[in-house]
Structure 1
Amino acid sequence: MSEKTIQADGLQMPLTKKGAKTRQKLLDTAEKVFGRKGYFNASVVDITQQANVAQGTFYNYFSSKLEIFEALVKQLSQDFRNQIRSEVANARNFEEAQRIGFRTFFQWVKNHRDLYSIVQQAVLVDEELYRRYYERIASGYIKGIEEAIGQKEIQSFDPETVAYCLMGISQFIGMRWVYWENQDVPDRVFNDMMNFIFKGLSRGRKNERDCLLD
């Protein structure tokens, strides 16, 4: 069975080692091309030329520019979620897991600075892809939040609401320092961020839910 047939069948059969290496090379190059030129200005020729791969070979793995873009967004999402999952596996509690997870994400973004540009392009290229990207991230957060609530480590807020709040914090703190400034998130910023998450803005006042329960 040829590699082209494998791709046409949705990659249900495993690629050869050489085929997997070539496909990954195309994805790595596409990350740079889409990040620099943008989806609409980039072309398959840009990707193949920079990857030093024949244009015909490209179509053994991807049917179009859109398909490689979608594959790239999915891979970026999967790769950093797997990295975070691996790093937080031995965390002793929810707060430690968040600290490790945020640090891991910021470092990952530093190594993949085009992530922000590519994901934001997705909202114009394929809105459903854009939505699924964030829903996959949220699903992992929600599971951890539900476990922390069950163990009474955190308050019993709606897990999905908390998940998207945490995602928003990581998104914009990373954008402000890692993407715009191309530097590590400063310790003072990281510590303020974590204190905000786990202590909030109020100065010792009960939150609304506690007041209702009194």
Structure 2
Amino acid sequence: MDAVAAPKVMREPRTERGRRTQRAILDAAAAEFGEKGFHESSIVSITIRAGVALGSFYTYFESKEALFKALVQDMSCRVRDHVAPVLARHGGGAIGAEGIALAAFLDFARQHKEIYRIIDEAEFVAPEDWRAHYLNTAARILERLQAAHAKGELGVEPSEVHAWAIMGMNVFLGLRFGVMDGIADLAEVAAAANALLKDGLG
């Protein structure tokens, strides 16, 4: 399964100030789209929330649609960047690594509940980016599983089915315990899910 590169829709800032402004617009858009959805949000309301001039918006984004597409790509990358350092510090085996990755994702989902509404809407507003988000996430999981299998850590040869099954479990656990439930012990949730993987793949 190959990763997919969605077309780049953000204009790259040339200065640190520009990067901060673009980040402010993306963060405001996440809050706005997360609260109101794509169709009820406006560029004006996003720039007001971001504390930037309306003209600044068009320096970085061509339209509301372009901003939404950029936001889907940005949130997908932020999930990856939130999980990757945690995995890098993990010195155990593959099954344990998936538990660590899940715990990190649950933490991200709890901090950024809007990701679910934004990714769900992306299926219709930005379908290429929606597809790329899931394909790339599953590709990263499969790559980890294949590396573990090569080391003799897994009892079965991993396939795309295994990667998508793990991702599906993670997505719905994030919905239940990251978005719907703000008090559950995320480490316990990850450990329970990890036990399923240990018995199924170990």
Query: Is this a same-fold pair by TM over 0.5?
Result: yes
Q: Helix, strand or coil: the match of 1:40?
A: coil
Percent sequence identity over matched residues? Answer: 29
Q: Describe the shift of the 1:106–1:157 C-alpha distance in structure 2 as closer, same or farther (beyond 3 A).
A: same
The alignment's TM-score, normalised by the length of structure 2, stands at 0.88
Show the counterpart of 2:130.
Answer: 130
Does 2:27 match 1:33? no
Q: CA deviation at 1:187?
A: 5.1
Q: Helix, strand or coil: the match of 1:89?
A: helix
**1:134 corresponds to which letter in structure 2?**
Y
Contact 2:47/2:57 (8 A) holds in 1: yes
d(CA) in 2 for partners of 1:193, 1:95: 10
Q: Describe the shift of the 1:148–1:27 C-alpha distance in structure 2 as closer, same or farther (beyond 3 A).
A: same
CA deviation string 1:112-137 (max 9, x = no partner): 11011100010110222111110111
Give the ranges of 4+ consecutive aligned residues of structure 1 lying more than 2 Å apart after TM superposition. Answer: 9-12, 155-159, 182-192
**2:45 corresponds to which letter in structure 1?**
D
In the TM superposition, 1:11-50 aligns within 5 A as 11=11, 15-50=14-49
**1:81 corresponds to which letter in structure 2?**
R
Contact 1:94/1:153 (8 A) holds in 2: yes
Root-mean-square deviation (CA, aligned residues, Å) is 1.9
Show the counterpart of 1:100.
Answer: 100
Q: Helix, strand or coil: the match of 1:60?
A: helix
Show the counterpart of 1:85.
Answer: 84
CA deviation string 1:130-180 (max 9, x = no partner): 111101111111110111111121133442111101101110011112111
The structure with the larger Rg is: 1
Which segments of 5 or more consecutive residues in structure 1 lack a partner in the other structure?
A: 1-8, 201-206, 208-214
Show the counterpart of 1:73.
Answer: 72
**1:125 corresponds to which letter in structure 2?**
V
d(CA) in 1 for partners of 2:60, 2:116: 25
Contact 2:99/2:191 (8 A) holds in 1: no
d(CA) in 2 for partners of 1:54, 1:11: 17
Contact 1:174/1:185 (8 A) holds in 2: no
**1:62 corresponds to which letter in structure 2?**
F
Q: Describe the shift of the 1:41–1:10 C-alpha distance in structure 2 as closer, same or farther (beyond 3 A).
A: closer
Q: Describe the shift of the 1:184–1:127 C-alpha distance in structure 2 as closer, same or farther (beyond 3 A).
A: same
Show the counterpart of 1:6.
Answer: none
Q: Helix, strand or coil: the match of 2:34?
A: helix
Larger relative contact order (Cα-Cα within 8 Å, sequence gap ≥ 6): 2
Which segments of 5 or more consecutive residues in structure 2 lack a partner in the other structure?
A: 1-8
Aligned length: 192
